[in-house]
Amino acid sequence: MVLDTAELKQEYKLAGRSYKLSYYSMPDSQMARLVGESLQQGKSFEETFAQYGGLVTSIPTRELAWSGPEPEEFKARFFSAPLQKGQIIGPFEAERGLFTVARVDGWTDRLALGDQDVRQRWEDVREKVRTRQATAAYANWIGGLMRGKTLRFDGQTFPQVARVMADFYMKTEAEKKQLIKQQVWNVEDSSQVHPPVESLDGIADLPFMVLDDQVWTVRDLQKLLLRHPLVFRSRQIPKGEFGLEFRNAIADMVRDLAVTEEAYKKGYDRVNVVQRTAGMWRDNLLATWQRNRLLREKGREAEFYKEYQKVIESDLNPHFVELSKKYGKKIEINTDEFEKIKLTSIDMFVTEKNVPFPVVSPNFPLFTTHDLLDYGRKMKAGK
């Protein structure tokens, strides 16, 4: 991918900038239109806020940095070109159903000092521009892949399914977390709780949608939802708009199916990075399943989730010692590399947004507190 030098230089000029903004958010397009008209008529930001700011008594402020965590589509409105003090950006749709207008109150520029700082900033700029171009190229490829495909929902069945799904997805975060305890893997992230597809058993044989002249039944949807969690485009879904959001989520899932099919055709499932990631999750799930099976046989599974350290020491540590004695001679450990590992006391849990599987890598299963390397043998050089 060839990067445009002029674009890199323009991006570099703003790479150390952090804007100070006054802003306020609007819940719908009608309010955004009224705010926009008020500003165009010459009313000040303060006057417009006083008229449309609702119960908020003071204008909110924030800082927005080039290197900040906000979505790139959002930051592009502020960092595509230098802005002027007092300049108003918006109103614009920050995310579906939520509109924002902002005023530039000032900014600070952090200079890159020293060769190392300059090199790092150039690398950050190149990476951001490269990612932006790759994202645009991917979106263009997706458009070509999906061009000509048709998706129609059954007018009788779709509302029935949507009602069942709404009962689940419109729950509060606290209500979803209560459901986590019923999950096989005891996942601690509510985004991984599966919807109650069994509630659709009574209409499982009814047609749900037609994709390129192929009829998909509710049963087909049930199977698919267990493999691919739905991802909604909006984080906050108004109650009356769930049907539309559900429709969009299904369409996005169909898109992901098409992408996955192409990936298999190109052999991406055999790429070492993909196999390594799949193997990591497979090991995690198998280890967790075996641990839970052992605890279930001992009648200690419920106790484990109340006082896991106590159960580990009384039940799992002895089992681990037995396993290490049984398989110790078959285990080889690269002790040289092992000694180089530096542990910190900071737990890191990385997630991605707007993807069906947001957890980047699994937590190491809680299995033992036995920390002595008193099993196995040193791995021979060259292995």
Percentage above 70 pLDDT, the chain: 92
* Whole-number Cα distances in Å, 180 to 149, 194, 195, 225, 354: 36, 9, 11, 17, 20
Instruction: Read off the pTM.
Output: 0.76
Contact criterion met (CB below 8 Å) for 192 and 229: yes
Third-level CATH fold of 5-143:
Chitinase A; domain 3 (3.10.50)
Q: Rounding to the nearest 10 degrees, give the CA dihedral for residues 213, 217, 219, 225.
A: 60
* Residue 2 confidence class, pLDDT cut points 50, 70, 90: confident
**What is the pLDDT confidence band of residue 178, given thresholds at 50, 70 and 90?**
low
Q: How would you classify residue 228: left for phi > 0, otherwise alpha for psi between -120 and 50, otherwise beta?
A: beta
Residue 194 confidence (pLDDT):
65
373: left (phi over 0), alpha (psi -120 to 50) or beta: beta
Give domain limits for the chain.
5-143, 151-265, 277-378
Q: What is the pLDDT of residues 238-291, one digit of tens each?
A: 778 899 999 999 999 999 999 999 999 999 999 999 999 999 999 999 999 999
pLDDT tens profile 95-141? 777 899 999 999 999 999 999 999 999 999 999 999 989 999 999 99
Name the nearest CA neighbour of 128 among 15, 17, 227, 268.
15
The pLDDT of 48-65, averaged and rounded, is 87
CA atoms of 268 and 260, how far apart (whole Å): 9
d(CA 293, CA 254): 35
- Which of the pair, 215 or 27, is modelled with greater confidence? 215
| Averaged pLDDT, 148-164 | 96
CA gap 130, 214 in Å, rounded = 38
From 204, 203, 200, 175, select the one nearest 190 (Cα to Cα): 175
Give the whole-angstrom CA distance, residue 299 versus residue 261.
43
27 preceded by a cis bond (ω within 30 of 0): no
Q: Is the pLDDT of residue 187 over 50?
A: no
Give residue 213's Cα distance to chain centre: 32
Strands 377-378 and 332-333: parallel
Average pLDDT over residues 319-326: 91
Structure tokens at 139: 């979106």
Collapsing DSSP states into helix, strand and coil, what is residue 258?
A: helix
For 84-146, what is the HEC assignment? CCCCEEEEEEEECCEEEEEEEEEEEECCCCHHHHHHHHHHHHHHHHHHHHHHHHHHHHHHHHH
Distance CA 173, CA 185 (A): 19
